[in-house]
């Protein structure tokens, strides 16, 4: 889908980009082809696309995969998406993904999840995807390039937090290529990046999400104070967990490695179950 095709579709269906939803329509065929290549979708693939917009990726995805589901918040796109998805055997749900329940589509567990994520909802959507589909083998996201700092943040940096930790626990992640503003209509004043997250061999426990978020509730405080502030764990329990893991009791969350969080969580859950 190139710029002329995007303009034609917008004109045909009386559509326009809505700034409040962070909408910029992808109109670079090379970028679209590269994203589809990263997704590695085949005839048996089950694909979930979050925010298909006017369908830059959707038509090709529907034709390549075994089962396709899209979730789109903007009902203005209904006629367009019915034409390029619904009539080709795909399913489109018009709702906010942050309110979506996987039970809405029973017996559907995606192999591949794709989304062009607006900056303002990037973190909550990525965390919810890992909670909803903890065994999904592959995710391909388009994000604002500056947001990559939060995804790929390292310990003891300002950017390091729940998103960087949890995506590391989920599997292997890679920033694959950059996408300039001219690849969209309307063109944003930012550069985007396409990232891929591949599921690891270990099990991802969705309950880690709330635990890691609690660990950063009071970022400037010690881990003990931050975790205990939620009321779920007592300070003595947390101190015991740190001692068991050989971690100083004065440590802050931003100094811990991703695997430290799972070790502490496992110890706390064991003590809780006794």
Structurally, how many domains does the chain consist of? 2
Model confidence pLDDT, tens digit, residues 33-82: 999 999 999 999 999 999 999 999 999 999 999 999 999 999 999 999 99
70 and 99 co-located in one domain: yes
47 and 112 co-located in one domain: yes
Q: Given a cut of 80, is residue 271 above it in pLDDT?
A: no
CA distances from 100 to 45, 128, 131, 186, 205 (A): 21, 10, 12, 28, 20
> pTM of whole model > 0.75?
yes
Place of tokens 């038509």: 59
57 and 123 co-located in one domain: yes
13 and 93 co-located in one domain: yes
111 and 24 co-located in one domain: yes
DSSP 66: S
Instruction: Determine the Cα–Cα distance for residues 253 and 222; give it in Å rounded to an integer.
Output: 7
CATH number where 120 lies: 3.40.50.150
Domain boundary pick from 158, 177, 199: 199
179 and 215 co-located in one domain: no
Range of the domain at 256: 207-273
175 and 153 co-located in one domain: yes
Domain boundary pick from 176, 199, 222: 199
31 and 164 co-located in one domain: yes
Q: What value does the mean pLDDT take over residues 198-211?
A: 94
């Amino acid at each position: 889908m190139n710029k002329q095709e995007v303009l034609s579709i917008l004109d045909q269906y009386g559509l326009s980009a809505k700034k409040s939803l962070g909408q910029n329509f992808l109109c670079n065929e090379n970028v679209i082809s590269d994203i589809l290549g990263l997704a590695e979708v085949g005839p048996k693939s089950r694909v979930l696309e979050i925010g298909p917009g006017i369908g830059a990726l959707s038509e090709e995805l529907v034709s390549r995969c075994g089962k396709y589901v899209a979730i789109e918040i903007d009902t203005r796109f209904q006629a367009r998406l019915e034409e390029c998805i619904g009539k080709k055997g795909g399913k489109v749900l018009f709702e906010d993904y942050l309110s979506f329940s996987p039970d809405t589509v029973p017996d559907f567990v995606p192999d591949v999840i794709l989304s062009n994520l607006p900056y303002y909802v990037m973190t909550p959507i990525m965390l919810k995807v890992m909670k909803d589909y903890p065994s999904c083998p592959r995710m391909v996201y388009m994000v604002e390039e500056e947001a990559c700092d939060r995804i790929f943040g390292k310990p003891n940096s300002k950017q390091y937090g729940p998103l960087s930790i949890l995506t590391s626990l989920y599997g292997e992640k890679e920033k694959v290529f950059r996408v300039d503003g001219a690849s969209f209509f309307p063109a944003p004043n930012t550069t985007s990046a396409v990232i891929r997250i591949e599921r690891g061999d270990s099990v991802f426990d969705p309950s880690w999400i709330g635990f890691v978020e609690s660990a950063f509730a009071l970022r400037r405080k010690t881990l003990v104070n931050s975790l205990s502030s939620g009321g779920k764990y007592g300070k003595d329990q947390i101190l015991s967990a740190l001692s068991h893991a050989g971690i100083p009791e004065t440590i802050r969350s931003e100094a811990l490695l991703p695997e430290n969080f799972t070790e502490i969580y496992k110890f706390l859950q064991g003590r809780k179950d006794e």
